[in-house]
Amino acid sequence: MFRNYLKTISRNFRKNKTFSFINITGLTIGLTSCLLIALYIQQQLSFDAFQVNGGRIARVIMEYSFEGSDVSNGGNYTSVRVPMVMKQNFPEVKDAVIMTNSKRIVRYNNNLITENNFMYAGASFFNIFSFNLLKGNKSAVLSEPYSVVLTQSSAKKYFGNEDPVGKTLQLTGDSNLYKITGLVADCPANSQIQFDFIASFSSLGISREREASYWDANYTTYLLLNDKHAISSLQAKLPAFMKKEMEGQHATVNFYLEPFNTIHLYSPYDAFAPNVSITYIYILAGVALLILIIACFTYINLSTARSVERAKEVSIRKVAGAQKAQIFWQFIGESAVVCCIAVFLGLVCAALLLPPFSRLTSQQLQLSSLFSLPVLAVAVLIIVVVSFAAGSYPALILSSFQPAKVLKGAFKNAASGQWLRQSLIVFQFVISVFLIVSTFIIQQQLYYIQHKKLGYCREHVMVLPIPYMATNVALMKTEFKQNADVISVARTSNTPVNIMGGYNMRTPAMPENSQIAVTANPVDNEFIPAAGLQLVAGANLTEQDIQDVGNEDDENAKNTYHFILNESAAKQLGWAPQEAIGKKMFLDESRPGYVRGVVKDFNFQSLHNPIKPVVLFSSAYGGTLLVKIKGAHIPQTISFLQAKWKTLMPDRPFDYRFLDDDYNKLYQNELRLGKIMNIFASIAIALACIGLFGLSAYSAQQRVKEIGVRKVLGATVSNIVFVLSKDFIKLAFIAALIAFPIAAWAMHSWLQHYQYRINIEWWVFVVTALATLLIALITVSFQAIKAALSNPVEALRSE
């Protein structure tokens, strides 16, 4: 019996090559897309699963505000005081570790190598986190100053196959040699904590004054709790404790706890690897499911459409003694064979496409994950579900027919079957139209982000890291400007793309205990022209303003600062732009000075955030150079700057980037989503068209005699094309009407994540409707024209 089923299946494949090819191709494309997206989602959901203590770890988030101000700031930063206080005062806390990531330059064999993932962490790091320490004692490797642990890749990079433990490394700007005390396996790709080097936190030489303060908040603190339920009880105790701690300080500081395992997908603050919003996971999961549904519906549709052709075959089998159950399982078996072939081809295609898809998603997706038990279980589930969905309808309908009526020619295709096929077509095009509209709007928002006037210029601005207290910056400026293509050279701490420094400000008219939280950035007199900021009142900083600051590290020095406010900061202080010029103010109390100018508001953070008050203050220090250049001879200008750099900054490599690259990094998730949506929306349309092509071919085949009669009676090619196409076009139009409100609602919700966003325009829906109808018409017309051009004699010869 089984052998007979296989012969029948093979015969049907050979007899209907076109439909078999469409079915297998559609399912393969849908499964390949689904598998690739599933791998990406699996990796994101598996972040930090290897951390044994993950359920007991919490990250500390700081939130603060000043007396008299209703503005509060917050972020994933704390001072060095926090872990000590948490361990000493709360029994829920078993251990704590403080960490920070930095960029350091390693001098090795007369080479200068920039290491972007150089981390400093407290001694308990390896007791809290489950990184695989290959050599060294996890309680001791970070206990002494100037100790460092290398990952396997870093050790091989510097020492080859030699044992690195006990050797030393020299960092530029640090007179102490760092002793290698341990070797750790490379960080897993699905870890929110990424590092190549991890040095003892005590190497930073934090002073006792800073250890006693909550305000020097430049580090990240993680707590190891006694059990996973302790986070709620600890959180409940923190407000009252911090209120007592801050008595008499005219400011409020509070701490909130983030469960470690939720940070990567749910926190607004990045860890030591970029976060991914759970929203994007839902979007991609939805896209994968919709594509798979389209592919499955195409197969189901063609299977039910062709069931009428099998009526005589089934009737003969029933006359020969076949039972209803045998016929049912024959159809299920045929569907299962098609699904098995498609799943096999889908796995092969997914394996071949994994490298480019990994580059697209910027993730290290592993081939082994494709053949993991969960993925294979999903593949088996798909085979079972699709086999029954595609095979059960024709099996149940055909196995219930009366053989006598069928063999006498009295059988006709049921209206219910036609209604089902039309419903599936509509559903397919609803999905396709939804994805087209969504992709349109996402691309519009991305275009808006990339072309919005930000209030500063990010084109042709080079960013060069320098030592924060470098003393030869004036000489560097002079040397760089010898090139006519160099417009200006500015020193700053943060670029205008992302200013993060937290400060407070007040005017003499305000009470001394009243402060306003503000973001601020130390700059020199060339920052405004280099960044392209627009002055609306007053003037730019001068060289004399920078000299007036004097020695900022000398607490006894009476320095006079000058400030550039943005419009929001001036408004916050109660001044109109012109009124603010020359007014006295204080920044963090330790920086008294006068307002020199006011600049137009600019987006100094992501467009997810509204523009807030910002103060640019005069300073002779800063760890960043902004070099504004002309766009005519960029390669030659870079070569010139590199040559000068080697002379002026011989102990640092020439590592540069462009400001627009920094800007694009703020939106890497959105840009990645836009690329993925473009690809998979196109796939969805292609799958819907494949299904429509197959059904139009079947429709033309079923109506071949009708077409012959129409041609004999004088119908033109255009008349016949219209008759065969109108029903399909009508279905596509209905699908568009259903999809539009769903897509509008979904995209409106997505756009709410942005403070600055586009409006959804009506023409998007008009263009989508026209494009959908045109695509449907072209797809159907191919078969309609072919049928219309056929010889009617061939169709009517047997009549």
Q: Give the span between the Cα atoms of 70 and 514, in whole angstroms.
A: 11
Note the pLDDT of residue 779: 74
Contact 609, 667 (CB under 8 A): no
CB atoms within 10 A of CB 276: 24
Tokens of 459: 């084109």
**Angular region, 248: left φ>0, alpha ψ -120 to 50, beta rest:** left
CB atoms within 10 A of CB 456: 22
Q: Give the span between the Cα atoms of 421 and 399, in whole angstroms.
A: 19
Note the pLDDT of residue 468: 85
Instruction: Say what the alpha-carbon torsion angle 522, 527, 531, 532 is, to the nearest 10 degrees.
Output: 130
Give the residue from 83, 86, 85 showing the smallest Cα distance to 98: 83
Strands (E), 111-204: 111-121, 133-135, 147-151, 168-171, 177-184, 197-200
Give the residue from 376, 628, 369, 583 showing the smallest Cα distance to 486: 628
**For residue 506, what is the enclosing H or E element?**
strand 502-506
Q: What is the DSSP letter of 166?
A: T
Strands 561-566 and 591-599: parallel
Task: Quickly tell me which residue has 């008595």 as its tokens.
Answer: 247
Bridge partners of 79, per DSSP, are none
Where do runs of H (alpha helix) occur along 50-175?
81-89, 125-128, 152-159
Contact 625, 518 (CB under 8 A): no
Q: What is the DSSP letter of 510?
A: S
**For residue 751, what is the enclosing H or E element?**
helix 717-751
Task: Quickly tell me which residue has 């309680």 as its tokens.
Answer: 139
Note the pLDDT of residue 429: 82
Instruction: Say what the alpha-carbon torsion angle 614, 619, 625, 627 is, to the nearest 10 degrees.
Output: 80
CB atoms within 10 A of CB 237: 12
Contact 36, 357 (CB under 8 A): yes
Q: Give the span between the Cα atoms of 576 and 579, in whole angstroms.
A: 5
Give the residue from 757, 683, 753, 755 showing the smallest Cα distance to 441: 757
Q: Give the span between the Cα atoms of 620 and 645, in whole angstroms.
A: 20
Cα 596-602-605 angle, rounded to 5 deg: 120
Q: Give the span between the Cα atoms of 445 and 440, in whole angstroms.
A: 9
Contact 162, 170 (CB under 8 A): no
Q: What is the DSSP letter of 266?
A: H
CB atoms within 10 A of CB 776: 26
Contact 262, 55 (CB under 8 A): no
**For residue 660, what is the enclosing H or E element?**
helix 659-665
Q: Give the span between the Cα atoms of 428 and 288, in whole angstroms.
A: 14
Give the residue from 94, 152, 153, 99 showing the smallest Cα distance to 127: 94
Q: Give the span between the Cα atoms of 792 and 708, in whole angstroms.
A: 4
Note the pLDDT of residue 236: 94
CB-side exposure of 450: number of CA atoms within 13 Å?
A: 14
Query: Mean pLDDT, 10 residues at a time, over the chain (799 residues)?
Result: 62 70 84 88 91 95 79 84 93 95 87 91 95 94 95 94 92 88 94 95 82 84 94 94 86 92 92 88 87 80 66 68 71 81 90 90 82 81 78 67 57 57 80 86 86 88 90 92 94 92 87 83 94 95 86 62 95 93 90 94 87 92 93 91 92 89 84 82 79 68 66 69 76 88 91 86 88 78 66 55
Note the pLDDT of residue 648: 92
- Dihedrals φ, ψ of 206, to 5°? -65, 130
Cα 740-744-749 angle, rounded to 5 deg: 155
Q: Give the span between the Cα atoms of 79 and 242, in whole angstroms.
A: 14
Q: Give the span between the Cα atoms of 630 and 613, in whole angstroms.
A: 31
Q: What is the DSSP letter of 78?
A: B
Tokens of 682: 């196109």
Q: Give the span between the Cα atoms of 451 and 453, in whole angstroms.
A: 6
Contact 459, 722 (CB under 8 A): no
Note the pLDDT of residue 286: 87
CB atoms within 10 A of CB 377: 10
Task: Quickly tell me which residue has 């006295």 as its tokens.
Answer: 584
Q: Give the span between the Cα atoms of 338 and 331, in whole angstroms.
A: 11
Residues 6+ apart with CB under 8 A from 528: 535, 540, 541, 564, 597, 599, 616
Q: Give the span between the Cα atoms of 579 and 568, in whole angstroms.
A: 14
Strands (E), 28-110: 57-66, 72-75, 93-108
Cα 90-91-97 angle, rounded to 5 deg: 70
| Dihedral sign for Cα atoms in the order 383, 386, 390, 393 | positive
